[in-house]
Structure 1
Amino acid sequence: MIGIFDSGIGGLTTVRALMDTMPGYDIIYYGDTARTPYGTKSRQTVIGYALENTEFLLQKGAKIIVIACNTASSHAVDEIKKRYDVPIFEVITPAVHAAIKASKTGKIGVIGTRATISSRIYEQKIMELKPDAKVYSEPCPLLVSLVEEGWTKRPETTMIVKKYLQPLKTKQIDTLILGCTHYPLLKDTISKKIGGQTAIIDSGSAVSGAISSFLSENRELAESLPQNGKIDFYVSDVTEQFEKTAGAIVKKQIKLICVKK
């Protein structure tokens, strides 16, 4: 199985992308909804959570791990790779490659949690590949909670998105990385407020493409993965709103299984 974890239910945007890109592959998802958001936590705390989540997925039979959380990707990927001998994918690198390819002016914006933005991981990776790029980053700490609450269409959310994006709009960026897997649920609002000419890079879609390419090159592993179309959804806490939002993301009714760790 392909194992995916996130700080909450936003990582289901990555599940949805994998369902579209690689239909049929069995997936196990874990959303740490009891401890969301990760973006306000310390680096060491995030690493601890990420290791626990990885262990859970491996115990459930995952042969590939996808860190569908930008905060965990920026802080914990090296530690996870040190401890576990399985293919590990994070959502940052594929999004960086997609953004560089999409940008015509080299002016790239990034939005994410405070932890992701303060890590400067996107800026570092972009500058390694394109030293002449101009990278502008803005933390958007309220957006994860708004998505988790299902407030994607509320006027209050639109006003907050507009305020967060204004500094990037004045920089005349031509490409914007959604540096959090919750943010694609606000993609329409973000696109309108940043400007329709700005390319929007969804990290979930980018990583699904990277996994698909990897499996094309590693046929033995690909053939060992079950392809029964089975998807299990686990969370560390569940509410009626979580289930409603989760169903909207994957575009079908689902049952969230609550597990306590």
Structure 2
Amino acid sequence: MQQPIGVIDSGVGGLTVSRELMRQLPKEKLIYLGDTERCPYGPRSKEQVKRYTWQMVHYLLGKNIKLLIVACNTATAYTLSELQSALLIPVIGVIEPGARAAIKNSQNKQIGVIGTEGTINSKAYPNTLKGVDHKIQVDGLACPRFVPMIEDGVFKGEEAEAVVAQTLQPLKNKSNMDTLILGCTHYPIIKDLVQAEMGPHIQVISSGEETAREASLILAYHKSLEQGNIAPVHEFFTTGNIEKFRHIANQWFEEPIQVLEWVSLDPMKSSAK
């Protein structure tokens, strides 16, 4: 029986990582859980994010996953090390892959990061980037309007353009910055708007490609790569509105998703302390 990869996110943002996983690992089955009912995680307390993340993890562990990808920057910042210590399967976050991609692309070590309040306040990206090279200069900007806008299915048109322009204005004054990390997996959905606003001289980086590459390497190391020739049927679960999730997912993947179900996580008990 095919053992799947589990992907968790606060909502639809992790679909950006999932699309890259499907591209790089076409034989692997994905089981995706988006906690859209309680999205966004960014404004929530660390303890609340940890509790919700553990609830999602317990649900996916019941699906016999072989690898867990925490495709939410806020959840990665607050829970990754705890999950890696507690679980018997490999666990990947999205912050280190995103930071590595930015370091490879930056020419002058002037890097910007946009993300949720939780991710920016955690200092996870500056700590990771400076842990590699202490000379890197990091400018962070919280963008609290982005995730609710994307979850509502607004990621093009005048309204989205206006929100992006207003939100990113403080970063446009950072004249030396040459690389911008999309420090939330929702943001690649509006990457074109961000790129247009920041200008062609800025390299806009998302973590999906690097995260999928890391997943491939880890599965190969553990000799867990799927060898069969049967096309996988991916499964998607959401705690929120199914039709809204389906609409965004179908647009992002450019083809209809086959399996989508609503689930409730509230009755589940968290093991987060």
Match of 1:11 in 2: 14
Q: Which runs of 5+ in 1 are unaligned?
A: none
Distance (Å, rounded) in 2 between the aligned partners of 1:86 and 1:228: 24
Number of the residue aligned with 2:82: 79
Distance 2:199 2:37 in 1: 35
Check the 8 A contact 1:25/1:226 in 2, yes or no. Answer: no
Query: Which residue number in structure 1 is paired with residue 199 of structure 2?
Result: 195
Q: Which of 144, 147, 170 lines up with 1:144 in the alignment?
A: 147
| Separation of aligned partners in 1, 2:82 and 2:136 | 29
Alignment of 1:147-158 (within 5 A): 147-158=150-161
Counterparts of residues 216-255 of structure 1 (less than 5 Å):
216-218=220-222, 220-223=223-226, 228-254=231-257, 255=259
Deviations 1:2-60 (A, max 9, x none): 00000001111111010111112111000001111111110000001111111111111
Q: Which amino acid aligns with 1:176?
A: L
Deviations along 1:144-166, whole A, 9 cap, x unmatched?
01111111013122112112222
Structure 1 residues 149-199: Cα deviation after superposition (integer angstroms, max 9, x where no partner): 111013122112112222222112110100011000001000000111211
Distance in structure 2 (CA, Å) of the matches to 1:256 and 1:147: 19
Contact persistence 1:161–1:189 (CA under 8 A): yes
Q: 2:270 is matched with which residue?
A: none
Q: CA deviation at 1:217?
A: 3.0
Give the equivalent residue in structure 1 for 2:214: 210
In structure 1, how many angstroms separate the alpha carbons of the residues matched to 2:131 and 2:247? Answer: 41
Within the alignment, does 1:128 sit opposite 2:143 as a pair? no
2:68 alignment partner in structure 1: 65
Q: Structure 2: which amino acid aligns with 1:195?
A: G
Determine the C-alpha separation between the residues in 1 that align with 2:83 and 2:229: 24
Structure 2 Cα separation of the partners of residues 68 and 164 of structure 1: 23
Using the alignment, how far apart are the partners of 1:143 and 1:188 within structure 2? Answer: 14
Deviation at 1:226, TM superposition (A): 9.3
* C-alpha RMSD over aligned residues: 1.5
- Counterpart amino acid of 1:40? P
Pairing 1:88–2:91 present: yes
Structure number having the greater helix percentage? 1
TM-score, with structure 1 as normaliser? 0.95
The aligned amino acid for 2:77 is S
**How far apart in 2 are the matches of 1:207 and 1:227?**
24
Runs of 4+ deviating beyond 3 Å:
223-228
Match of 1:177 among 175, 181, 188: 181
The alignment partner of 2:108 has SS state of coil
Contact 2:27 2:227 in 1 (8 A): no
Counterpart contact for 1:25–1:227, Cα < 8 Å = no
Cα distance in 2 for residues equivalent to 1:249 and 1:88: 25
For 1:31, the equivalent position in structure 2 comes to: 34
- Indicate conservation of the 8 Å contact 1:7/1:36, yes or no: yes
Identity of aligned residues (%): 37
Q: Work out the CA distance in 1 between the residues paired with 2:160 and 2:19.
A: 23
1:239 Cα deviation (Å)? 4.0
Amino acid at match of 1:201: I
Q: For residues 49-108 of structure 1, what are the alpha-carbon distances to aligned partners after superposition, in whole Å with 9 as ceiling and x for unaligned?
A: 111111111111111000000000001112212221110000000110110110001110
SS in 2 for 1:4: strand
Residue in structure 2 matching 1:106, options 105, 109, 120: 109
Letter in 2 for 1:180: C
Letter in 1 for 2:209: S
| Cα separation, 2, equivalents of 1:2 and 1:205 | 16
Read off the aligned partner of 1:105 and give its amino acid letter: N
CA–CA distance in structure 2, aligned partners of residues 65 and 120 of structure 1: 23
Q: Deviations over 1:95-153 (max 9, x none)?
A: 10110110001110000000000001000110110111110000000100111111101
2:129/2:136 contact within 8 Å kept: yes
Say if 1:10 and 1:182, in contact at 8 Å, map to a contact too.
yes
Partner of 1:56: 59
